């Protein structure tokens, strides 16, 4: 069934560590070798052997309109003949900045980078430079990219592979990072009572998407806003996943809580490598060349990524799209709940809009500790059963599933039916 993928993987492991260029793709958590994808269209992907799958990874979020969306393809075709990179400013960067400032409530100025990791790394450097402080507060199970100080108690691939932080991160770097339980008001209060004058920033996924999907208590986010404002620290929302996914203004608009800095990625490139960070003008103007805090990137604002991202955001300005995504998300995840109930399986579903996770557990999942208690072995069995039926889920219990505009009633119904059959066989 996957002979060509297997052959490609055997070639890859000789030349690429683990045979993959991002660890979660290796499939270790679900007991498979990775499939190699040859093409994608709409809500479907085809592997190297020609097998078709309904895709709920969506390139880990950015394919919110579906694969190969015509407007995005046309924008890229129009732009690519004019060159792929200049290392100089373009009109598209200005248009993208105007679009982001218009759509994201807290952003007054923005800078483009090349990835979510670059965005969070740069935002933290800016926060440290702006406040003159060193310590950063993050939360267990939240993944903010692979910058050194952010791998402490991280989610995503770090959680999937059971890596405790990461070798190669100096102790004196890690000592400046305080990692607390997600959704814990008490731990936040105590941390600021003890370290408040040394804390430069709190960085948080306003909706955690890297320990599976975990929703915040609004009181938790309000507490973060209050303690940072009172202590002089900055509040950074990592909306690399939630930005333009849970709504046109991201999670900050959804919950009505404004951070000082916001990190973006995924969707603003329309599937191409991109990231951005932005916030209050007085903070952003501390960045070089107008200020003294340095950050740079040859490919930042790449014209192809900007063209694809602008084509995407122009469509997402239509708020009606999010009503449709909400309906699709509800249909999928409520269907999975019903399938589990009929099969006698205990699952908990966490969902917001078009993104969500299932956890094989009886108990609510509100933080990394409760996420780790879910039955990962059962998830792996479920994953393999679904893959055999042509359903492509995240190859880890610590990731999030995404629905796109391209998923229709038939594809969602087929997914639910396959889930019902798969859960009976667990």
List, by residue number, the catalytic residues: 143, 238, 266
Residue 50 CB-density burial (10 A; 0-12 exposed, 13-18 middle, 19+ buried): exposed
Helix/strand/coil (H, E, C) string of 338-390?
Answer: HHHHHHCCCCEEEEECCEEEEECCCCCCCCHHHHHHCCHHHHHHHHHHHHHCC
- Annotate 45-108 with DSSP letters as a single string: EEETT--EEEESSGGGTT-TT-BT-HHHHHHHHHHHTT-S--SS--HHHHHHHHHHHHHSTT-S
CA–CA dist 264, 119 (Å, integer) = 7
Helix/strand/coil (H, E, C) string of 180-248?
Answer: ECCCCHHHHHHHHHHHHHHEEEEEECCCECCCCCECCCHHHHHHHHHHHHHHCCEEEEECCCCCCCCCC
User: Which of 146, 166, 184 is closest to 367 using CA atoms?
Assistant: 184
Residue pair 386/393 in contact (Cβ under 8 Å)? The answer is: yes
CA 264 to chain centre: 9
């Amino acid at each position: 069934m996957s002979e060509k993928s297997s052959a490609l993987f055997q070639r890859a492991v000789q030349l690429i560590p683990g045979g993959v260029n991002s660890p979660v793709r290796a499939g270790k958590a679900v007991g498979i070798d990775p499939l190699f994808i040859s093409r994608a269209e709409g809500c479907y992907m085809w592997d190297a052997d020609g097998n078709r799958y309904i895709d709920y990874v969506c390139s880990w979020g950015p394919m919110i309109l579906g694969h190969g969306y015509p407007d995005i393809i046309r924008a890229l075709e129009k732009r690519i003949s004019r060159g792929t990179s200049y290392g100089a400013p373009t009109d598209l960067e200005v248009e993208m900045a105007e679009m982001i400032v218009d759509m994201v409530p807290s952003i007054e100025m923005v800078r483009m980078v090349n990835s979510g990791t670059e965005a969070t790394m740069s935002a933290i450097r800016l926060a440290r430079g702006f406040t003159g402080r060193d310590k950063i507060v993050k939360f267990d199970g939240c993944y903010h990219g692979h910058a050194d100080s952010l791998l402490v108690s991280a989610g995503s691939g770090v959680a999937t592979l059971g890596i405790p932080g990461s070798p190669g991160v100096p102790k004196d770097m890690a000592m400046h990072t305080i990692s607390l339980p997600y959704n814990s008001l008490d731990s936040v209060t105590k941390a600021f009572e003890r370290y408040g004058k040394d804390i430069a920033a709190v960085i948080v996924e306003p909706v955690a998407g890297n320990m599976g999907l975990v929703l915040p208590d609004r009181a938790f986010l309000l507490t973060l806003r209050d303690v940072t404002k009172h202590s002089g620290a900055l509040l950074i929302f990592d909306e690399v996943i939630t930005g333009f996914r849970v709504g046109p203004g991201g999670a900050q608009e959804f919950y009505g809580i404004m951070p000082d800095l916001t990190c973006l990625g995924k969707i603003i490139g329309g599937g191409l490598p991109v990231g951005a960070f932005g916030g209050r003008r007085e903070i952003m103007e501390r960045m070089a060349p107008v200020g003294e805090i340095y950050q740079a990137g040859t490919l930042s604002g790449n014209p192809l990524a900007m063209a694809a991202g602008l084509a995407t955001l122009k469509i997402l300005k239509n708020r009606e799209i999010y009503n449709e995504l909400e309906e699709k998300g509800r249909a999928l995840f409520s269907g999975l709940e019903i399938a589990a109930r009929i099969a006698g399986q205990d699952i908990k579903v966490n969902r917001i809009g078009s993104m969500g996770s299932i956890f094989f557990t009886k108990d609510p999942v509100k933080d990394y500790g409760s996420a780790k208690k879910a039955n990962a072995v059962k998830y792996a069995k479920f994953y393999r059963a679904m893959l055999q039926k042509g359903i492509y889920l995240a190859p880890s219990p610590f990731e999030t599933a995404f629905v796109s505009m391209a998923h229709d009633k038939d594809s969602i119904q087929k997914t639910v039916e396959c889930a019902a059959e798969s859960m009976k066989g667990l």
